[in-house]
Structure 1
Amino acid sequence: MKIVIQPERHSEILMEVIPVFEGGKVLHVCNSCAARVQRFIKFGRFDASLGSTYKFTKEKDLGAIKEEVYVGLGKEEEITSERIRKAVSMAIKEVKKLNVEKATVRFIDLDDISTEEVVKAIAEGAVLGNYEFNNYKKIKEGRVFLNEIRIASVAQEKVEAAEKALQEAELLINSTIFARNLVNEPANVLIPEELAARAMAAGKESGFQVEIMDKNQIEALGMKAYLEVAKGSVNEPKLIVMRYFGDEENKEDVTALVGKGLTFDTGGYSLKPNDSMVNMKSDMGGAAAVIGAISAIAKAKLKANVVAVVAACENVISGGSYKPGDIIGSMSGKHIEIVNTDAEGRLTLADAVYYAAEKEKASRIIDVATLTGAALIALGTSTTAVVTNNQELYNKLQSAADSCGERVWQLPAFEEYKELNKSSVADIKNAGGRLAGTITAGLFIGEFVKDTPWMHLDVAGTAWSDVEKAYITKGGTGAAVRSLYYFVKNN
């Protein structure tokens, strides 16, 4: 979708989104709009609560029709960039119903929120709210797609800042959509080899290097835990390593982003029920996030060094699959007791984070994974759970997430939780039981990062949505792409 900054409103506008605060305050007020809003409120048609909408149609000169969608911003004293993002996305959903190609959104000029933040919020809300995954659907003949948004009534002295902010917003929008598309692809299409190919294509487009390692190379690295998960599938694993070095003067300062890359997960011999398995194409949501993030980082030419690692494979059943009760090795040399073959993502991540620390010499490691159902029980679908061994690292992530409207929440990492992962027959077991499941899963991964500052993001609840929620559309969400980008940019 094309997004344009437009300093002035033009009389030929035929589709306009008009933001309104509760009480009826219209920004960039025109007398007719203000009067209409008061009538809508008086007769109970529109209350301007956050995300509420009302469509008004009027005739213009020469019989032309102008459509106006009024959208509520809620209480003026509660306005944030995230509330703008949500409101605009709700308005765009109404606009789409009108089968128009172009729409204008009035700029929201505020004292407490910068021009840059407002522009990003409008652009992200509009485009991400308009997202559809139609790769395998026949499009109805004659359907009109919304393909251009104009952000209008931007004061001339703010246009330069608005256009600069829009460039960054488009990077993040496109990278988020790229991640969504990866997650939404069916598992029979996005096998590990295909995920690797798409990472390679993203590297060529965005400007980062990509190295793809095959099974023999993975074996040579000693990544035994990763290979145990992968060996049940006819689709061979691919270790995807992406490198962007934008700070040549500080080559030793490297941030590693490690994404869980299970392109499908049956649970192995600890088999999932069908209802839990049907959306397991999304089990590579962490991989999608880190590929999307490094794409945005490279395109923006940030002054930073980033290595992204994805240990891609499938967890399926065959005569060669690993089993509950097995004791397996790992790249670190630690032996792992398998108590649950559905706790497979942490096994691939154990080798992947160790690789990042040992071979890529990462200064800090952030892993992103659709890891535990316990994360949904604890935090639902709106918030990403975080476990870390470094408080400063988490504080920086919190700031990055706040800047883009994503929600994260730190879970405790007390020594008592590590006790739950202890094994009587091996160095560690791969599941600590039902209690504190998100924490013990994260701490398992933390045992393989050596002494590196590390943070684990469990996006099991946020990387996929079963329902539409404002700019979060059904299916893959692209969660964590923007937070990771801002984390790297600001640090």
Structure 2
Amino acid sequence: MKLAIQSERHSEILMEVIPVFEGGKVLHVCNSCAARVQRFIKFGRFNASLGSTYKFTKEKDLGLIKEEIYVGLGKEEEITSERIRKAIAKAIREVKKLNVEKATVRFIDLDNISTEEVVKAITEGVVFADYEFNKYKEVKEDKVCLNEVRIASVAEEKVAAAEKALEEAKVIIDSTIAARNLVNEPANVLIPEELAKRAEDMGKEYGFQVEVMHKEQIEALGMEAYLAVARGSVNEPKLIVMRYFGDEANKENITGLVGKGLTFDTGGYSLKPADYMLHMKNDMGGAAAVIGAMAAISKNKVKANVVAVVAACENVISGGSYKPGDIIGSMGGKHIEIINTDAEGRLTLADAVYYAVEKEEVTRIVDVATLTGAALIALGDTTTAVITNNDEFYSKLQKAAEACGEKVWQLPAFEEYKELIKSSVADLKNTGGRYAGTITAGLFIGEFVKNTPWLHLDIAGTAWADADKDYLTKGGTGGSVRTLYYLVKNN
């Protein structure tokens, strides 16, 4: 989609989105348009509550028809970037129903939100809501695609800042869309080898280095926990290591991003119910998030050093699969009693985070994983659960999430919870039972980060949308790409 900034209020484009506050306040419109909005409100056609819309059609010169979509921003005193993002997304969904190729969106000039933030919110609302994953449909729907959107009525003195923000936003959006695409690919296509190839292709396109290690190299590293999960599949594991060094003056400061890369998860011998297994292609949502974040960070030349690690594999059943009751080793030297083979992600992450700390010498680390159904039960599909050993690091994550409208929530990491993952026959067991499942899963991974400042993001609820909602489309959300980007960029 072509995206642009224009200072002019009017253009030749005959489809326009006009944001309106409750009470009828509308920016950058002529007197007749403002009066028209007041009439809509007076007669109950439109109330400008957040996300409400009203379509108005008028005839212009030469018989041309102009369509206007009025979209509600809600109360002016409650406006945020996220509310702008949601409102614009709702309007774009209405625009798409009209089968137009081009549209303009009126800029929202605010005192409490910067020009840059408004531009990013509008742009993300437009493109994310327009997203569709239809590459496997031989017969596409017969409709016109929206291929150009302009943000109009930007004051001349703000155009330069708006255009700069737009360029940054385009890269972040492209990277998030790439993450969505990875999650939406079927598991028969996106096997570990293919995920590694996609990462390599993105590295070439966006400008980060990619090293792919094969089974023999993984064995040489002593990654026994990772290999135990992988050994049931005919599709061999691939350890994907991505590197970007954009701050040569501070080479010793490296952020580690580790993503869970289960390209499919049956649960192993602790088999999942059939209905639960249907969407398990999304169990590599953490991998997609860190790959997407690396793309955005490198393409936008963020001043930072980042190493991302994905231990890609499948958890399936065969004669060689690991079993409940097994005791396995790990790269960090600890032995693990297997209680449940469906608690596999933490095993792959244990070796991956240890590798990042020990071999890549990262100085702080974030792991991102669709780890526990308990996170979805606790926080629903809007909020990512977080475990940390460093409250200052969490505070930075919180600010990064707020900057892009994503939500995070810190769960406690009290010492008492660690008792639940102690084993009587090994150093650890891979699940602590039903109680505090999200917490104990995170703390298990924390056993392998040494003393490195660490954040664990459980995105089980936020990596996937069961239906279209706001600017999310059914399927992979690309969740956490933007949060990771701003965490690295601003800290």
Task: State how 1:73-472 maps to structure 2 within 5 Å.
Answer: 73-140=73-140, 142-472=142-472
Q: TM-score normalized by structure 1?
A: 0.99
Distance 1:476 1:269 in 2: 27
The corresponding residue for 1:490 is: 490
C-alpha displacement at 1:63, in angstroms?
0.7
The corresponding residue for 1:69 is: 69
Counterpart AA for 1:479: G
Task: State how 1:28-43 maps to structure 2 within 5 Å.
Answer: 28-43=28-43
Distance 1:248 1:272 in 2: 47
Distance 2:207 2:47 in 1: 47
Runs of 4+ in 1 over 4 A off after TM superposition: none
Distance 2:478 2:467 in 1: 15
1:377-434, Cα deviation, whole Å (9 max, x unpaired)? 1100000000000111100000110111000000000000000001001000000010
Distance 2:139 2:147 in 1: 16
Q: In the alignment, is the contact (CA less than 8 A) between 2:328 and 2:336 conserved in 1?
A: yes
Counterpart AA for 2:322: Y
Q: TM-score normalized by structure 2?
A: 0.99
1:446-467, Cα deviation, whole Å (9 max, x unpaired)? 0011111111000000000101
C-alpha displacement at 1:139, in angstroms?
4.3
The corresponding residue for 1:9 is: 9
Q: In the alignment, is the contact (CA less than 8 A) between 2:413 and 2:443 conserved in 1?
A: yes
Give 3-state SS (helix, strand or coil) of 2:421's partner. coil
% same residue: 82
- What's the C-alpha RMSD, in Å, of the aligned pairs? 0.8
C-alpha displacement at 1:171, in angstroms?
0.9
C-alpha displacement at 1:32, in angstroms?
2.0
Distance 1:387 1:171 in 2: 29
C-alpha displacement at 1:11, in angstroms?
4.6
1:433-452, Cα deviation, whole Å (9 max, x unpaired)? 10100000000000011111
Give 3-state SS (helix, strand or coil) of 2:44's partner. coil
Distance 2:169 2:12 in 1: 27
Range that drifts further, 42-51 or 413-422:
42-51
Range that drifts further, 447-456 or 178-187:
447-456
Runs of at least 5 residues in structure 1 that lack an aligned partner in the other structure:
none
C-alpha displacement at 1:141, in angstroms?
6.0
Distance 1:117 1:141 in 2: 34
1:226-273, Cα deviation, whole Å (9 max, x unpaired)? 000000000000000000011112211110000000000000000001
Distance 1:445 1:140 in 2: 44
Q: In the alignment, is the contact (CA less than 8 A) between 2:18 and 2:70 conserved in 1?
A: yes
Counterpart AA for 1:410: Q
Runs of at least 5 residues in structure 2 that lack an aligned partner in the other structure:
none
Distance 2:425 2:25 in 1: 68
Distance 2:101 2:195 in 1: 33
The corresponding residue for 1:48 is: 48
Give 3-state SS (helix, strand or coil) of 1:138's partner. coil
Distance 1:466 1:380 in 2: 12
Counterpart AA for 2:476: G
Distance 1:324 1:375 in 2: 23
Give 3-state SS (helix, strand or coil) of 1:150's partner. strand
Q: In the alignment, is the contact (CA less than 8 A) between 2:9 and 2:28 conserved in 1?
A: no
Q: In the alignment, is the contact (CA less than 8 A) between 2:183 and 2:288 conserved in 1?
A: yes
- Count of matched residue positions in the alignment of Structure 1 and Structure 2: 491
C-alpha displacement at 1:142, in angstroms?
4.2
Distance 2:255 2:141 in 1: 47
1:337-391, Cα deviation, whole Å (9 max, x unpaired)? 0000000000000000000010001100100000000001110000000000011
1:45-82, Cα deviation, whole Å (9 max, x unpaired)? 11100001011111111111100000000000000011
Distance 2:88 2:60 in 1: 25
